[in-house]
Amino acid sequence: MRASWRQILVSGFGGLVLVVVVLQSRDIGLANMYGDYIVEHSGLWAIRFLLISLLMTPLNTLLGWRWAIGLRKTAGLWAFGFALLHFVRYLSGVIKVIDLQLFRQDYVVLGLVALGILTAMALTSHRFAMKRMGKRWKQLHRLVYAAGIVMMVHALVAYANTKRAFMGDQRVTVEVLIYLAALVVLLMVRVRFIREAVGQIRGQLKMGDAPATPHS
């Protein structure tokens, strides 16, 4: 329990968010699939948890917080879980209105690509898959960056096709653009020369904080 309390905390937070989203959707009770509360908010939380997962490596690399690595998989699995809920809820709406032509929309294709990547990563997130796949495991899991970009574009395009976009509500667009900017920053800090520069600055700050050695 002491070693994994952070993972438990993240999982508890994810479960709480899930419960809140479901309960609020019942209170709102929107019948239109384009305005479905669960579809919108499960998609946003998938993006948020993916960003949290991507944040863990920079926290370890730049700040030396080794415990952050242990939260990377937990947050990533919650991102997959909310993305899956997002798809299942949307699919139930498509079947309800009997409009399978919606699957030809660009934003649906983008969403399926992102979900496919997250699914592959979730299915190979255990140690057995890591040993079995070897170098291919790292190559596969590097696609998380592509999944993040595709998810952002999916959200922006999907919102542009909803009725709310025509009513002038730009809240979701602004929020997703902020997430996209955060994703760009998280990708930039993984660039080698930027990572090394930040590491040097961190080392200099540590040296500056170190107590002076008394002269003999």
Distance CA 13, CA 87 (A): 21
Distance CA 100, CA 103 (A): 6
What is the reported pLDDT for 163? 59
- Greater pLDDT, 171 or 112: 112
Q: Is the pTM of this model over 0.75?
A: yes
Confidence of residue 34 (pLDDT cuts 50, 70, 90): very low
Distance CA 81, CA 46 (A): 7
Specify the 3-state DSSP secondary structure of 143. Answer: coil
68 within 8 A of 57, measured Cβ to Cβ: yes
Give, as one character, the DSSP assignment of residue 169: -
Does residue 147 carry a pLDDT above 70? yes
Copy the structure tokens of residue 13. Answer: 């937070």
42 within 8 A of 86, measured Cβ to Cβ: yes
107 within 8 A of 90, measured Cβ to Cβ: no
